[in-house]
Amino acid sequence: MRIGVYPGTFDPITLGHIDIIRRGAKLVDKLIIGVSTNPSKSPMFTLEERLEQVRRETAGIANGTIEVVSFNALLMDFAASQGASMIVRGLRAVADFEYEYQMAGMNQQLNSEIETVFLMADVALQPIASRLVKEIAIFGGEIGKFVTPAVAAAVKTKVAANKS
CA separation for the pair 89, 7 (Å, rounded): 8
Closest CA to 15 of 157, 151, 148: 148
- Catalytic residues, which ones? 17, 41, 92, 130
Identify whether the C-beta of residue 134 lies closer than 8 Å to the C-beta of residue 43: no
Alpha helices in the chain (DSSP H): 15-25, 47-58, 75-81, 94-110, 130-138, 149-163
CA separation for the pair 162, 27 (Å, rounded): 40
